[in-house]
């Protein structure tokens, strides 16, 4: 956009120069007025271009620093393996738990029955 505007202004400036060479009188299309207008517009566009360039440079710098920060964080948050669903369960081992529970209950029954027998034996 800026380049096309500059090309258009250069064309107007050349046209104003040609008119001034022919010696036209003072009018709204006077070459000096036209040249001044063109130069003012050119300077305005030039300053806008410089400003936009600086904004772009700052945005690029900020983007690069953000990328570096993300890369530093990625080292600590790297994925070791992708999550997947298991084929089958490995824990709890149901038969082992059942057998252990039966043994514990039988041991407790034996202990309490022995205690009951000891108490009855001492009563007599």
Predicted pLDDT at 28: 60
User: Is the pTM above the cut of 0.85?
Assistant: no
Reading the chain (124 residues) residue by residue, the pLDDT tens digits are 666 766 776 776 676 666 655 554 455 667 777 788 888 899 999 999 999 999 999 999 999 999 998 888 776 666 778 888 888 888 888 999 999 999 999 999 999 999 999 999 998 7
Please tell me the distance from the alpha carbon of residue 21 to that of residue 59, in angstroms, as a whole number: 47
Contact 34, 21 (CB under 8 A): no
Residue-wise DSSP of 3-72: HHHHHHHHHHHHHHHHHHHHT--SSTT-HHHHHHHHHHHHHHHHHHHHHHHHHHHHHHHHHHHHHHHHHH
The residue extents of the domains of the chain are 2-76, 90-124
**Residue 6: cis peptide before it, omega within 30 degrees of 0:** no
């Amino acid at each position: 956009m800026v380049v096309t505007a500059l090309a258009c202004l250069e064309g107007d400036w050349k046209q104003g120069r040609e008119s001034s060479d022919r010696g036209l009188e003072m009018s709204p299309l006077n070459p000096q007025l036209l040249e001044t207008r063109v130069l003012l517009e050119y300077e305005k566009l030039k300053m806008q271009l410089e400003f936009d360039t600086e904004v772009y440079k700052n945005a690029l710098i900020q983007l690069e620093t953000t990328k570096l920060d993300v890369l530093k964080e990625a080292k600590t948050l790297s994925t070791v393996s992708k999550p997947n669903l298991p084929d089958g369960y490995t824990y709890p081992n149901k038969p082992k738990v059942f057998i252990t529970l039966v043994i514990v209950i039988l041991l407790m029954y034996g202990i309490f029955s022995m205690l009951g027998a000891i108490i009855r034996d001492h009563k007599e």
